[in-house]
């Protein structure tokens, strides 16, 4: 899980942090590396999951598609056509969850969502930290993961862009999660996608745990509530 990865990340020395990130990038792993558990398995959200609310929401984005074959009885999908059948060459917008199957069967060709096109990848390459990624898409990384898995000519470039974007922004997110004021935190969170917001929360939690450990608060031995209650009851019986 992302929490486990970042707990380990935050507990290491700075020079070891860089080694970890470099090793992941050198292996050209896709964005999913931030969410593997300690067995190296991906959570269900990164694979088609019928019961995942997040997966349903992120794949509901509309994609411009062109039908390469005629499809009977689906003319209602094309608002500009009066025919009952959907003619070859018709252009319609479909939810992304329909695209993988239709694309694999050569029924449609489609335009990748604009924020994953080359001009937007160049913006991220120039300075990804200043980009309002939540405005680009609240599930930017997750949707990009699905897009890149469709075996497109840009798939490798999209994967590399996602990885490099997260690496560049992750350092800033971790720094801000530990040293930002309340006003800065509100402004930063507004610009993060949902995955980054979870990483930010993990960074804050890890830093608070670290501060408690430094103050020895986490190692204090306190009387259990049950024992304390038993002592009070016993004392009351004695006084009576």
The CA distance from 85 to 93, in Å, is: 16
Which residue in this structure is represented by tokens 């700075």? 14
Instruction: Enter the tokens of residue 216.
Output: 């020895």
The CA distance from 206 to 202, in Å, is: 6
The pLDDT, as a whole number, for residue 27 is: 32
* HEC-encoded secondary structure of 104-119: HCCCEEECCCHHHCHH
Q: Is residue 15 part of a domain?
A: no
The residue among 124, 113, 195 whose CA lies nearest residue 154 is 113
Go through the chain and tell me how many residues it has.
Answer: 240
Taking only Cα atoms into account, the Rg of the chain, rounded to an integer number of angstroms, comes to: 25
Residues 6+ apart with CB under 8 A from 65: 91, 92, 93, 94, 99, 102, 108, 109, 110, 111
At 181, the pLDDT band (50, 70, 90 cuts) reads confident
The residue among 9, 4, 34, 3 whose CA lies nearest residue 144 is 34
The pLDDT, as a whole number, for residue 67 is: 94
CB 177 within 8 A of CB 207: yes
- The listed range with the strongest mean pLDDT (65-79, 131-145, 225-239) is 131-145
User: What domain range is 106 assigned to?
Assistant: 62-112
The pLDDT, as a whole number, for residue 142 is: 92
Q: Is residue 78 part of a domain?
A: yes
The CA distance from 178 to 176, in Å, is: 5
- pTM of structure: 0.68
Q: Is residue 198 part of a domain?
A: no
Angle, vertex CA 154, rays to CA 150 and CA 157, nearest 5: 115
Report the 10 Å Cβ neighbour count for 155. Answer: 16
- The listed range with the strongest mean pLDDT (8-17, 46-55, 159-168) is 159-168
User: What integer is the mean pLDDT of 83-91?
Assistant: 88
The residue among 60, 32, 68 whose CA lies nearest residue 47 is 32
The pLDDT, as a whole number, for residue 34 is: 38
The pLDDT, as a whole number, for residue 239 is: 57
Q: Is residue 47 part of a domain?
A: no
At 226, the pLDDT band (50, 70, 90 cuts) reads low
The residue among 143, 136, 113, 169 whose CA lies nearest residue 46 is 143
The pLDDT, as a whole number, for residue 167 is: 93
pLDDT digit string, tens, across residues 207-217: 888 888 888 76
Domains in the chain, number: 1
pLDDT digit string, tens, across residues 6-41: 344 334 333 333 333 333 333 333 333 334 344 444
* pLDDT more than 90, % of the chain: 43
Instruction: Enter the tokens of residue 123.
Output: 């913006």
- For all residues of the chain together, what is the average pLDDT? 76
pLDDT digit string, tens, across residues 92-129: 999 999 999 999 999 999 999 999 999 999 999 999 99
């Amino acid at each position: 899980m992302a929490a486990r990865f970042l707990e380990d990340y935050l507990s290491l020395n700075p020079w070891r942090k860089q080694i970890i990130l470099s090793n992941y990038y050198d292996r050209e792993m896709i964005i999913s590396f931030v969410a593997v558990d300690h067995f190296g398995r991906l959570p269900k959200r990164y694979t088609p999951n019928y019961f995942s609310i997040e997966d349903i929401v992120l794949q509901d984005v509309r994609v411009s598609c062109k039908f390469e074959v005629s499809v009977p009885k689906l003319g209602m999908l094309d608002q500009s056509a009066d025919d009952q059948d959907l003619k070859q060459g018709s252009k319609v917008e479909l939810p992304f969850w329909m695209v993988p199957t239709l694309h694999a069967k050569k029924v449609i060709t489609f335009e990748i969502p604009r924020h994953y096109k080359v001009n937007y990848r160049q913006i991220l390459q120039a300075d990804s930290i200043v980009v309002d990624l939540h405005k680009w898409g609240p599930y930017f990384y997750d949707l990009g993961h699905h897009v890149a898995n469709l075996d497109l000519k840009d798939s490798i470039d999209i994967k590399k862009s996602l990885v490099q974007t997260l690496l560049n922004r992750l350092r800033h997110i971790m720094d801000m999660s530990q040293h930002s004021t309340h006003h800065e935190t509100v402004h930063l969170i507004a610009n993060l996608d949902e995955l980054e917001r979870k990483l930010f929360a993990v960074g804050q939690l890890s830093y608070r745990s670290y501060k408690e450990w430094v103050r020895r608060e986490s190692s204090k031995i306190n009387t259990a509530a049950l024992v304390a209650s038993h002592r009070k009851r016993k004392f009351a019986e004695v006084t009576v």
